[in-house]
Amino acid sequence: MPPEADDSCQVESLLGGSWVDAKTPTRENWRSFFMAQDALPPYLNEASNSPRKSESAGKKPYVFCAKKPDDLPDVHADLMEKALNRDEGLLYLLYTPICQERNGPFGLQATPASHSVAVTRHRFVISKDRRIKAIAPSLQSIPFNQVVSVELGNALFFGWLSIRFAVDEKASCTTLFFPSATGMRHFGLAVSEYRRMTRPTHGLMPSKIIEWADVWRHTPKTEVDHLKLLIIKEEIPFNWLRSSERWVLRKSRGKSVPSYVSQNGILISTNIGFIHATEEPCTRPEIFSFGVNASCIAFDGLKSAQVLEKSLNGTRFCFLQLKIARGDVTIDFDIPFDGSSLTDAENLARFFAQEVVSK
């Protein structure tokens, strides 16, 4: 029996991926989206903490936080009640309804289903109900020591949570989509709890630190809004690398065609871990993109960090390669940066070689 679309996905370089869809929004329906959002009733514009148990709860169009498993609707309450141990420490619990999208930006895919997501001191627990009689609801446990990265993002109407992890000596990925209007804040709090639990136990901080205000000054507001959802109270940045959208010309059938090599983004290194925010890859130059994805990477899986160069159609560009290992599974994250950040990238690679990888 083939695996479901969101139970595994291709783990690829962060340089790649694009989203080309017949539903690509125009300026007109982008305006309509905000008009429609303003017209929503209060319980949709404000994330509700009042679950409503009913047979149709999987179709409720909002995300809410639950204090205990019994507050979840339908089968999710029973699944979570059996899965969670009383002594493991429940930090955050939420419910999200069915989102009908199957394909999203950055190559993400998900099967439509309602979900509940629990964050404990040591793992993620995710229940899933496709609301199809022939397919039984399922439960998945992902220990933090198997997690490679956690991604949170949104594009227009929907958002996503994507967890890349290692299991049975293979790389795997679980992705779910949710309505962004009521879900981004709740999922941001859930990911923040994960980051708080996986922060280094020792003081990992070089002598030089940076103020958050300096980081925001060099970051587009769309990326700032996503990053602020994930930052925890004790977090202090000490290095950041900026990348810009870059294109090169390649020959195709005797014509020069623009080829995409890097997107707008920023990598922030803090005392807690890495946060890498990128904008959705464009289909051609000077086209506005709507999606932003933020990847969180803990330091405990870092095996190496080095500055490398690539050449594409005669154009050279630099990137920071992070090797993240969980057991026998190793995944490379290739993060491009502008030439003006070369010294900062080299200092960062040297710092991690001395303070993280060697210990």
pLDDT at position 131: 87
What is the predicted pLDDT for the residue at 60?
58
Query: Class assignment of domain 27-197?
Result: mainly beta
CATH 2.30.29 boundaries in the chain: 27-197, 212-357
| CATH domain 212-357 topology | PH-domain like (2.30.29)
Nearest Cα to Cα of residue 239 among 153, 324, 317, 322: 322
User: pLDDT value at position 274?
Assistant: 95
Count of CB atoms situated within 10 Å of the CB of 205: 14
DSSP string for residues in 308-319: EEEEETTEEEEE
CA atoms of 174 and 225, how far apart (whole Å): 24
Q: Could you tell me if 118 and 92 are in contact, meaning their C-beta atoms sit under 8 angstroms apart?
A: yes
CA-closest candidate to residue 64, choices 234, 243, 185, 206: 185
Q: Is 71 helix (H, G, I), strand (E, B) or coil?
A: helix
Q: Cα(118)–Cα(67) distance, rounded to whole angstroms?
A: 10
Tokens 């950055």 — which residue?
106
Token duo for residue 91: 């930090």
- Residue of 352, 285, 356, 358 whose CA lies nearest to 320: 352
Q: Shortest CA distance to 227 belongs to which of 265, 178, 271? A: 265
SS3 (DSSP) at 8: coil
Tokens 């199809």 locate to: 132
| Residue-level pLDDT at 316 | 79
User: Which is it for the CA torsion 57, 59, 62, 64, positive or negative?
Assistant: positive
What is the Cα–Cα distance from 141 to 153, expressed in whole angstroms?
22
- CA 289, CA 158: separation in Å to the nearest integer? 15
Is 357 exposed, middle or buried (CB count within 10 Å of its CB: 0-12, 13-18, 19+)? middle
Instruction: Please report, for residues 9, 128, 179, the alpha-carbon distance to residue 173 in angstroms, rounded to integers and kept in the order given.
Output: 5, 15, 20
CB 152 within 8 A of CB 176: no
pLDDT score of 40:
39
The single-letter code of the amino acid at 233 is K
Q: How wide is the angle at C-alpha 79 spanned by C-alphas 77 and 83, nearest 5°?
A: 115
Q: The whole model's pTM is what?
A: 0.79
Which residue in the block uniquely carries the two structure tokens 């999208």?
A: 101
Written as tens digits, the pLDDT of the chain (359 aa) is: 444 444 434 333 333 333 333 334 443 343 333 334 433 333 333 333 444 444 344 445 689 999 999 999 989 999 999 999 988 999 999 999 998 888 888 889 999 999 999 999 999 999 999 988 899 999 999 999 999 999 999 988 889 999 999 999 899 999 999 999 999 999 999 999 999 999 987 766 777 889 999 999 989 888 998 999 999 998 999 999 999 877 666 666 767 666 666 778 999 999 999 999 998 876 665 666 678 999 999 999 999 999 998 876 667 788 999 999 999 999 999 998 998 899 999 999 998 888 776 55
